[in-house]
Amino acid sequence: MKIFLDTAHVDDVKKVVPLGIVAGVTTNPSLIAKSGRVFEDVLKELTTMVDGSISAEVMSPNAEGMIEEGEKLAEIAPQITIKVPMTWDGLQAVHHFSQKGIKTNVTLIFSVNQALIAARAGATYVSPFVGRLDDIGEEGIYLIEQVASLFRTHSLPTEIIAASIRHPMHVTQAALAGAHIATMPYSVVKTLVEHPLTAQGIAKFEADWNNRK
Ligand code: E4P
């Protein structure tokens, strides 16, 4: 399973890129608003830092508007992936983009049928939201398991991005459930790297080393 960063803060990306684990970045309108920066500026900067897919979400409610916005965003760089909401209009836009060779990420997926339809419309990626399903008492990881099984059974090439990842167990479970990618904030990446026993072990080795004869 590949690791994407779910952020519009370029400083977060800067911290993780040297580890060589960042295969892509996802942004969303809330993350862009939180960054306090101009959308296109953030995207341009991200394209200089990461080689892989960078998701940029369109905001128009209708297919024509999404297509216009998406085509402009796609001009920034070939790795820009147009993030489209799972709606009737969104699917029309995805179909259009797929015929033009523009990558898409269908976002706000909450059911297996939504994932199937998005894949059939030609989505490059689908993003089932694990944490938001957990928030309403459903099991987000079960959705990842089911979508992964469906895509395997029917040889669908669309990749699954496990999104709305809130903690390290989500990452482990998404990987075991068959997600191709998990997108997560910097705070979650930190929990994947650090472990109290590792820190304790280093401190002990250091103390013993300093007390050697
Ligand atoms: C995914 O592409 C979304 O940007 C993100 O994972 C949503 O996460 P949240 O539910 O924690 O806001």
Whole-prediction pTM: 0.96
pLDDT in tens, 113-170: 999 999 999 999 999 999 999 999 999 999 999 999 999 999 999 999 999 999 999 9
Which DSSP string do the residues of 178-199 spell out, in sequence order? Answer: T-SEEEE-HHHHHHHH--HHHH
Q: What is the complex's ipTM, to 2 decimals? A: 0.97
CATH code of 2-211, in short, is: 3.20.20.70
What pLDDT does residue 144 have?
A: 98
Which member of 34, 83, 100, 103 is catalytic? 83
pLDDT in tens, 5-14: 999 999 999 9
- What's the pLDDT band for 19 if we cut at 50, 70, 90? very high
Is 83 labeled as catalytic in the residue annotation? yes
The per-residue pLDDT of the chain, averaged, comes to: 98
Atom of ligand 1 nearest to the CA of 26: 2
Q: Nearest-5° angle of CA 122, CA 40, CA 126?
A: 25
Given a contact cutoff of 8 angstroms between Cβ atoms, the answer to whether 4 and 22 are in contact is: yes
Cα(50) to ligand 1 centroid in Å equals 19
Q: Whose CA is nearest to atom 8 of ligand 1?
A: 164
